[in-house]
Amino acid sequence: MKIFLWGNALLILSFLIHLVIWKIRVPQRQTKTLFTLFGMLLFLEIPLIDIVSDHFPALAEYRLDNLMEYAHVSLYYLCLSLMYIVFYGALEVDSPSLVMVLRVAKEGVQGLPISEFYESMNDDLLVKPRVENLVRDKQAIFENGKYKISEKGRSFISIFIFYRKLLNAGKGG
Amino acid sequence: MSTNLTQLLIPIFAMVVNVLVHILGYRYLLRGALLKSLLVGFASGFLMITFCESYLFLHGDAGLWETFPLLLVNQAIYFSLWYCYFNFVNMGETARRVRLMRELIEQTEGLTYDELLQKYNAQEMVKRRIGRLLSKSQIIEKDGRFYSGKPTVLFIAKVVIFMKLFVLGKKSEYE
């Protein structure tokens, strides 16, 4: 119960701080900021839990007793934070499949004409922003009118290429 | 029963089981069925946690009220790790960024925007996604029109929109 309580308390605190920052101003590099924020609270976990359980007698019975319990709270907090940061990716960038399903649903029983649908899904909407993001995130460089993969991009994509080979799967996309 | 090293390692061990079952399942048993193999992997890891916790409960001196919260915590840790893994595998399959980078890594001299579009463009992207949505009956094609099908992806889309509004205050990155 202690792990559950402290792990969730830390998660709620991180989420609230994240919401407050986002309401003031959405950061330019959103995922990076989330990693920093959730990471900072992971570092502050031990003193935070000790201070709170010392100052609130009602929480004394939930005081963590040994290093393994702190480690378990850290693991719980770390994994659920990672899950949120991964989920946040779907908030930051529109998923084409979800946009498609919503567009079709919006038309209701009369349906969406296929030709109209294909016309609205063009390169400027679906490809250009992602290419620009690659340059912004330094995963590709743009020089002399050409896009080239950067060292950062090469290491990032190598993991996916390795895993796709392991699965014996194609290029994807 | 307080936390010990075994309790800490159970979700990690379940995750290893999940990855192995997924890779072997995708390669040899459910060829090409990515979602099914991911779900089979998830179920294997989940069963592994339940088995390990039951074993510790039956062979230890801890009561149900001590074991049950730890089971929940470890299942939550495992689910979070699985969700990250699911997204990692899914990114390799569907992410535009990953596909564009795969095209760029194959061309050491680089590609102009038009050359990049020849290799991967909105038309191909949409065709692949429509194919996946049709094959899973999430949309239906009839008389030159698309209609809504099963509600799973639509429900996910609505949850994502709700969260976008809650966190970012807007429905789309283009707003």
Measured between alpha carbons, how far is B60 from B82 in angstroms, rounded to an integer? 28
CB within 8 Å: A134 and B153: no
DSSP per-residue codes, A35-51: HHHHHHHHHTHHHHHHH
CB within 8 Å: A102 and B154: yes
Both tokens of B51, joined, read: 């088995």
Asked whether the beta carbons of A83 and B78 are under 8 A apart, the reply is: no
Q: Identify the closest residue of chain B to A21 by CA–CA distance.
A: B167
CB within 8 Å: B96 and A127: yes
CB within 8 Å: B144 and A76: no
Closest chain A C-alpha to B42 CA, distance in angstroms: 15
- Contacts of B149 by beta carbon, 8 Å cutoff, 6+ apart: B133, B137, B138, B139, B140
CB within 8 Å: B145 and A111: yes
pLDDT at B59: 85
Cβ contacts from A onto B, under 8 A: 240
pLDDT at B161: 93
Measured between alpha carbons, how far is B157 from A105 in angstroms, rounded to an integer? 11
Measured between alpha carbons, how far is A54 from A147 in angstroms, rounded to an integer? 57
Q: Identify the closest residue of chain B to A168 by CA–CA distance.
A: B27
CB within 8 Å: B83 and A83: yes
Kindly list the residues from chain B whose CB atom is less than 8 angstroms away from the CB atom of residue A154. 105
Interface confidence, given as ipTM, is: 0.84
Q: Is the pTM of this model over 0.90?
A: no
Residue with tokens 């009220």: B65
Kindly list the residues from chain B whose CB atom is less than 8 angstroms away from the CB atom of residue A112. 145-147
Kindly list the residues from chain B whose CB atom is less than 8 angstroms away from the CB atom of residue A16. none
Chain-centre distance for alpha carbon A117: 29
What is the band of B2 on the pLDDT scale with cuts at 50, 70, 90? Answer: low
Computed over every residue of chain B, the mean pLDDT equals 89
B22-63 per-position pLDDT tens digit: 999 998 887 778 889 999 999 999 999 999 988 888 887 777
pLDDT at B81: 97
Kindly list the residues from chain B whose CB atom is less than 8 angstroms away from the CB atom of residue A163. 88-89, 92
| Sheet containing B145-148: order of strands | A112-113, B145-148, B139-142
The burial class, CB within 10 Å (0-12 / 13-18 / 19+), for A85 is middle
Position B49, amino acid: I
| Helices and strands: H and E segment counts in chain B | 7, 2
pLDDT at B67: 81
CB within 8 Å: A87 and B83: yes
Q: Identify the closest residue of chain B to A122 by CA–CA distance.
A: B122
Closest chain A C-alpha to B47 CA, distance in angstroms: 19
* Residue A5, SS3 per DSSP: helix
Kindly list the residues from chain A whose CB atom is less than 8 angstroms away from the CB atom of residue B8. 68, 71-72, 75
B77-110 per-position pLDDT tens digit: 999 999 999 999 988 888 888 899 999 998 888 9
Per residue of chain A (173 residues), what is the pLDDT tens digit?
Answer: 888 899 999 999 999 999 999 999 999 889 999 999 999 998 888 888 888 888 888 877 888 888 888 999 999 999 999 999 999 988 888 888 888 899 899 988 898 888 888 888 888 888 888 899 899 889 999 998 999 999 999 999 999 889 888 888 776 65
Q: Identify the closest residue of chain B to A78 by CA–CA distance.
A: B77
B104-148 per-position pLDDT tens digit: 998 888 999 999 999 988 888 888 889 989 998 999 999 889 999
Position A55, amino acid: H
